[in-house]
Amino acid sequence: MDKNFQEEQFTGIMKFTPPLYKQRYQFIKDLVGKYKPKKVADLGCADCTLLWMLKFCSCIEVLAGLDICASVMKEKMHRLSPLPVDYLQPAERSLTVTLHHGSVAHKDPCMLGFDLVTCIELIEHLEESELKKFPEVVFGFMAPSIVVISTPNSEFNPLLPGVTLFRHPDHKFEWNRAQFQSWALETARCYDYSVEFTGVGHPPTGMENVGFCTQIGVFVRKYPQTSESAQSEKPTEAVYKTVFKAVYPSLKDEKYLQNAVVSEVIFRAQIIKRSLLDCLMSEHEEYNDDPTERKSKFQPSMNCFSEDLGKLVVEKSMGPFVDGNMVYIPLKTIFSFPKVNRLCGTFEKLCKLIAGKVTLSSDGSAVMLNTEHENEEN
């Protein structure tokens, strides 16, 4: 049975708003917003709900989940896959999501190098032998910068109708605040972490003495991990089984970056072309020119363009022009657009990315578009 569903049965009468499990996940999201970790692992990830929420945090580049029950992970892991929109509009950051089947009592090198490790309602599901190994695996071996551990506060249980011993049939124990804090402080001391205590799920008015429904310990490593300590006694043998992996399309991948740049260049060039041709048409009408006369290499006045485009053309000293049935838009002008500039970084990179993908003038300095296509569209 889903541990969140089981809990909500007991806590529903308390009317936690939002539901208690959502408050725990929001606590983690707020912590991510504060510390901006790039690599996050969720131990005891169950149905992957927290991982799904965290994949939208723009600072995170690596997400990993671990659970002893593969079937629970597989039930909802499809939510962690990229959507069509992720391919149509790749993010600037990279993101890899991996799920592993295994026990938190075992060490695996795939869990090294994480900035934040979350253990939400996990430790109370561990057997005594697993709980003894847990600190060494998480704080000694994995040694992330931050560890967050949440667990039920047994002092709150008398306020939960239907709870006789534990909140969930799989719980091996439930600690009061003194027990949890004693364990957490000793663990922090052994592995050079500091720890602060908080929680979610406020008690009813007048019952504040029982504390939060869920107690939380936030552990922060006191000293940066040295390369020697990171390498010492780290096993090379993998013991977890990978059950899911998704690599999201990213603009850090040259293939996706090129597609994005080419699309943006063509989009900007088409806007400039239409603005130029509209201008030519209006000036023909204004001066009542002979309709059979074709203007060659006509340089339009600035009022042909929008204010922003006009500024760009002025800055580059040379604007787009028409020669015969071709419109020429200088690459320097296109590069001046903020999005193109941000995507490419340098003008040289722009030239490299669009080479062979966009029709350019013989000297490679301008994008060429055919005016005839415009006439066909109209």
Q: Report the pLDDT value the prediction gives residue 230, as an integer from 0 to 100.
A: 54
Q: Report the pLDDT value the prediction gives residue 339, as an integer from 0 to 100.
A: 95
Q: Report the pLDDT value the prediction gives residue 29, as an integer from 0 to 100.
A: 98
What is the SS3 assignment for 27? helix
| Mean of pLDDT values over 118-139 | 97
What is the SS3 assignment for 242? strand
Confidence of residue 25 (pLDDT cuts 50, 70, 90): very high
CB-based contacts of 99, cutoff 8 Å, min separation 6: 45, 48, 51, 64, 65, 66, 67, 73, 77, 80, 242, 243, 244, 245
Q: Report the pLDDT value the prediction gives residue 86, as an integer from 0 to 100.
A: 94
CA distance 329 to 323: 11
Q: pLDDT above 90 covers what percent of the chain?
A: 72
Confidence of residue 314 (pLDDT cuts 50, 70, 90): very low
Backbone angles phi, psi at 134, to 5 degrees: -55, -50
Q: Report the pLDDT value the prediction gives residue 372, as an integer from 0 to 100.
A: 73
pTM of the model: 0.79
What does the DSSP 8-state code read for residue 140? Answer: I
**Where do the H-state alpha helices sit in the chain?**
3-11, 20-35, 49-54, 70-76, 84-88, 128-135, 177-190, 227-231, 254-286, 307-316, 331-335, 338-344, 347-354, 371-377
CATH of domain 5-247: 3.40.50.150
| Mean of pLDDT values over 14-33 | 94
Confidence of residue 4 (pLDDT cuts 50, 70, 90): low
Q: Is 210 exposed, middle or buried (0-12, 13-18, 19+ CB in 10 A)?
A: middle
Q: Report the pLDDT value the prediction gives residue 236, as an integer from 0 to 100.
A: 64
In the block, tokens 């029982």 appear at 210
Whether residue 6 is predicted with pLDDT greater than 90 in this model: the reply is: no
pLDDT in tens, 151-201: 999 999 998 888 888 988 999 999 999 999 999 999 999 999 999 999 999
Q: Report the pLDDT value the prediction gives residue 371, as an integer from 0 to 100.
A: 85
Whether residue 299 is predicted with pLDDT greater than 90 in this model: the reply is: no
DSSP letters along 172-186, please? S----HHHHHHHHHH
Kindly list the domain boundaries of the chain, sorted by start residue: 5-247, 254-377
CA distance 42 to 46: 9
Q: Report the pLDDT value the prediction gives residue 1, as an integer from 0 to 100.
A: 44
Average pLDDT value for the chain: 87
CA distance 165 to 159: 12
CA-to-CA dists, residue 93 to 47, 101, 345, angstroms: 25, 27, 15
pLDDT in tens, 322-354: 888 999 999 999 999 999 999 999 999 999 999
CA-wise closest residue to 150 among 44, 237, 247: 44
CB-side neighbour CA atoms (13 Å) of 91: 17
Q: Report the pLDDT value the prediction gives residue 311, as an integer from 0 to 100.
A: 45
Asked if residues 304 and 279 have their Cβ atoms less than 8 Å apart, the reply is yes
CA distance 37 to 117: 10
Q: Report the pLDDT value the prediction gives residue 300, as an integer from 0 to 100.
A: 47
Give strand pairing partners of 41: 64, 117
CA distance 158 to 10: 11
